[in-house]
Structure 1
């Protein structure tokens, strides 16, 4: 991966393909490879004629590891995304975020609307507004030396995922303590670009796609049938819905 300096923090990214640019932002405890490459997203988007930019969020993947929770807000990571687009001299891009990446994408669209042509909130529906549960049990599970004592099933799932991705668990604990800032109904209502909200039908973490989409002036919903939070990323119907949305509303449609 390539690297750039984002206000003093080393951020890793990749930039492949040619055509209208699209930025992919991964979820918590994941990285760009696991979230977007291994699931076929990058290949499929490049095949569709897109320039695909993927980023490892701070504290994740090959980006710099930080252990201060104050350095990990989703709004801060949205600034990393904006600086990356400026670093690459990309004036405007379509943006897809999964789970935590969707929250980051929302902050990017709210704070830098001139950078965003369209946005997809995947894996995060109405719980972007209502909240996705307590962060501290997950943080403690990530910090635990012995995973056998973790009783909270949600915390256990994230600990297992962090181990599978060989992540820096201390950095992730700092991230989870600050990355879930609430976003209000009034705030999402300010997003004027086209938005697709795509969430699995069995995704208790993300919550209803339809409920969130109704709060957004140009929002629409897609339910990924039969998928929970961990299963929905690479689902073929999910990809098909996003590609159709981009054809109708993305930079490719405007060209």
Structure 2
């Protein structure tokens, strides 16, 4: 199909999947249980961090995390005591364990107390057309306190050729202003045009079949190629096509 036909096809799939019923089977349901901005962004960040593997397991374990944080993630992050952290020790989702969760709680506390919060860091360092270089800056600040070396692997670095799927998904949730009520759009200081598609095996395979992506690896170079293709289809809101690519791959076996 030509570019116009491809855009019409993908736009129709965005309309199909960018719908409130999408929330029911997606990890984004976890931050949707909160109303306050800081609770939403912390719940979203932690949920996106463990978003790999079986989707049901991701959702169950993300809800478990919120239970461990007393269903008040921002209050827990900012006011926890050492004894509060002990109950996190038994948490596990694949290779993300209780030690990692405790480290994330401490690092998030550092981000909110010393850097003005998650949104402020991404706003401070993003001054171009892409938020990808900012992710590397964020990782540096996240781990500038004493930390476990093993935990660093749970935040990817685009400058080390990672597609950084988890943070790009989190940023879509926070930044993209969504008339359908799926993405939150609570970060007003960044624009959807600066975002990148959360590239994974499903979206990557569909993108290759549609001619949007040629590179075989799902890495930072592939993400740049996919970004360029999607921005030709919609320069203002390119990551809306994540719904189309993901939906075609996961729900339709395209």
Q: TM-score, normalised by structure 2?
A: 0.32
More strand by share: 1
More helix by share: 2
Q: TM-score, normalised by structure 1?
A: 0.32
